[in-house]
Amino acid sequence: MTSEHVMHEPHGTGYTERMNKLRAGVLGANDGIVSVAAVVVGVAGATSDTGAILIAGAAALLGGALSMAQGEYVSVSSQSDSHHALIAKEKHELEQMPEAELAELAEIYAAKGLSPETARRVAVELTEHDALAAHLDAELSIDQEDIVSPWNAAVASALSFVVGAALPLLAILLPPEAWRIPVTFVAVLAALALTGWLGARLGDTPHHGRAVLRMVVGGALALAATFALGSLLGVSGVV
């Protein structure tokens, strides 16, 4: 392993927080692109009225952003509450039965392959340095300084949704009427390819092409389906 490789490995506190915000951002942008694009393309298939397209797109943008923020906040809050409860439980156990906790920590390291003597020595030294951090890491894989903030995740998700949603909204409104649908299709599929690639990079997925292909195919199917539905409703005279 080269020193350059080691330098690029994630170290230190805040890594989980940063990765969660990036994940929420990519997912939020992707959802914004697909959901709002599907709405405006569907409406554009039924009517050429720019006002109707704008109202539908703006409503989808606002509603989607608020929904994404709420969902992310609830999800991350549940995870954060669970972590805080586990930390409180571990603090209580360390206060009430420190020797038993020390023996448990030594057993964990012995189970990982250390000799009983070395495992005991490691447990003692880690306990003297920071007993709570040692137990949270060994037993629960929790870093109390790296617990994800629900508010940060919610804001990142909502903002990224708005950024993603703005693309299809502008793509459908700015070009001449005859070019609205083709321009929106191209812009949306290109943006989905980018978010698919970013998502693969963030997840350390080796096959970026597959992730991009899934995103593009899924987006194309969504746009085709809503455009077909809008066109059908428009031709039938329902709207």
Residues 47-69: pLDDT tens digits? 889 999 999 999 999 999 999 88
pLDDT tens per residue, range 82-132: 888 888 888 898 889 988 888 888 898 898 888 988 988 988 998 888 888
Instruction: Tell me: pLDDT of 202 over 80.
Output: no
pLDDT of 24 reads 66
Neighbours of 154 (CB within 10 A): 23
- Ranges 23-32, 66-75, 177-186: which has the least confidence: 23-32
pLDDT of 149 reads 81
Instruction: Tell me: pLDDT of 209 over 50.
Output: yes
Long-range contacts of 57-63 (CB under 8 A, 24+ apart): 57/165, 57/168, 57/169, 57/172, 57/173, 58/169, 60/35, 60/36, 60/165, 61/32, 61/36, 61/161, 61/162, 61/165, 61/166, 61/169
SS3 assignment for the chain: CCHHHHHCCCCCCCHHHHHHHHHHHHHHHHHHHHHHHHHHHHHHHHCCCHHHHHHHHHHHHHHHHHHHHHHHHHHHHHHHHHHHHHHHHHHHHHHHCHHHHHHHHHHHHHHCCCCHHHHHHHHHHHHHHHHHHHHHHHHHCCCCCCCCCHHHHHHHHHHHHHHHHHHHHHHHHCCCHHHHHHHHHHHHHHHHHHHHHHHHHHCCCCCHHHHHHHHHHHHHHHHHHHHHHHHHHHHHCCC
pLDDT of 5 reads 43
Instruction: Tell me: pLDDT of 206 over 80.
Output: no
Instruction: Tell me: pLDDT of 210 over 50.
Output: yes
Q: What is the CA radius of gyration of the chain?
A: 25
Instruction: Tell me: pLDDT of 2 over 80.
Output: no
For the entire predicted model, the pTM comes to 0.72
pLDDT of 131 reads 85
